[in-house]
Amino acid sequence: MIERLAIVGVGLLGGSLAKAARAQAIAREIVGIGRDTGRLRPALTDGTCDRVTTDLADGLRGADRIVLGATVLANETLLPEVWRSAAPGALVTDVGSTKRGIVAVAERLAADRRDVQFVGSHPMAGSEKAGYAVSRPDLFQGATVVLTPTESNAPAAVKSVGELWTAVGARVVTFEPDAHDRAVAAISHLPHVVAWALVDAVGRFEPEAFGVAARGFKDTTRIAAADPDVWREILLGNRDAIVDSVAVFRAALDDLERLVAQGDGTALTALLTRIKTTREKLS
């Protein structure tokens, strides 16, 4: 049982975690911390949080678990103050979609004060919408949460953060921070970039074609309607890994195009068969 769970940023992810923690009764006390009293109030009045505050140090006092639920850059900026205010033995995690940056900040802070630990989390759940109003207690049910521990983390700390997520219904997997950022670049950020380029390319090449678009095109480009503001931050926050993944994608595209241009039917069949096998493993 968690004694006091402090959640900094009570939006879609932080709010959903608070609601799930309340529903599953995994914390004796839940404290919501934010910048705006008015926006914190619903989390207090609906009984999700026992207390809300805009004072970070006050909110963190005595908390044994601290979850940073703001954006990636905001969480990184807050982390030094979190470290100063956290109680001895406090365990800190976050919900950000990239991990190298915040883990590097945490490693520097941990070198100075060793009785606070940070274990990065990335719950792969969410929505194109944001804010406490769309949060819900079942958001993490069946979702995958990637943990990105480092060698400076005590095994018990990693285990405790994992248990926080499994208690709210998630499946936990572990990646190195760098591998995590490359993996989300590959499986999420690159597909968005490709879907945007595909929609843009059809408009440039033969806009009449939109009139005969069928299910295949619609499925392939559904994510191209994602929220531009959310994605600007994601793209800029993981730009190195994204640029690397685009380079690999371009090489794969070149290989395929070469076989088409050369009319190499045998090699095309072999390549498409190999790719089909890979894709079918995902269901």
Residues 88-127 that bind its own copies (CB under 8 A): 124
Our CA angle for 170, 153, 239, nearest 5°, is 70
**Among the residue ranges 32-40, 89-97, 130-138, 209-217, the one whose residues contact its own copies (CB under 8 A):** 209-217
Q: Is 151 in the site for its own copies (CB under 8 A)?
A: no
Element at 27 (helix H, strand E) = strand 27-33
Q: Provide the token pair at 162.
A: 């994992």
The number of C-alpha atoms within 13 Å of 178 and in the hemisphere containing its C-beta is 1
What would you report as the CA-atom Rg of the chain, rounded to the nearest whole angstrom?
22
**Among the residue ranges 28-36, 76-84, 162-170, 231-239, the one whose residues contact its own copies (CB under 8 A):** 231-239
**Among the residue ranges 65-73, 91-99, 161-169, 237-245, the one whose residues contact its own copies (CB under 8 A):** 237-245
Q: Is 73 in the site for its own copies (CB under 8 A)?
A: no
Distance CA 205, CA 256 (A): 20
**Position among 5, 13, 170, 193 found at the interface with its own copies (CB under 8 A):** 193
- Three-state DSSP at 227 gives coil
- Three-state DSSP at 62 gives coil
**Among the residue ranges 37-45, 104-112, 132-140, 183-191, the one whose residues contact its own copies (CB under 8 A):** 183-191
State how far Cα 25 lies from the chain centre: 24
In the bound state with its own copies, the residue whose beta carbon lies nearer, of 129 and 222, is 222
Residue of 20, 159, 8 whose CA lies nearest to 94: 8
CB of 263 to its own copies, least distance (A): 5
Distance CA 33, CA 40 (A): 8
Q: Is 210 in the site for its own copies (CB under 8 A)?
A: yes
Q: Is 129 in the site for its own copies (CB under 8 A)?
A: no
Q: Is 141 in the site for its own copies (CB under 8 A)?
A: no
Burial class (CB in 10 A: 0-12, 13-18, 19+), 186: middle
Ramachandran angles phi, psi of 119, nearest 5°: -125, 115
**Position among 73, 84, 134, 217 found at the interface with its own copies (CB under 8 A):** 217
Distance CA 65, CA 227 (A): 31
**Among the residue ranges 13-21, 107-115, 148-156, 172-180, the one whose residues contact its own copies (CB under 8 A):** 172-180
Tell me how many residues contact its own copies (CB under 8 A): 86
In the bound state with its own copies, the residue whose beta carbon lies nearer, of 46 and 128, is 128
In the bound state with its own copies, the residue whose beta carbon lies nearer, of 1 and 282, is 282
**Among the residue ranges 6-14, 99-107, 148-156, 187-195, the one whose residues contact its own copies (CB under 8 A):** 187-195
For 188, other C-beta atoms within 10 Å of its C-beta total: 15
Distance CA 12, CA 125 (A): 10
Residues 244-273 that bind its own copies (CB under 8 A): 244-246, 248-253, 255-257, 260-261, 263, 265, 268-269, 271-273
Q: Is 243 in the site for its own copies (CB under 8 A)?
A: yes
CB of 120 to its own copies, least distance (A): 14
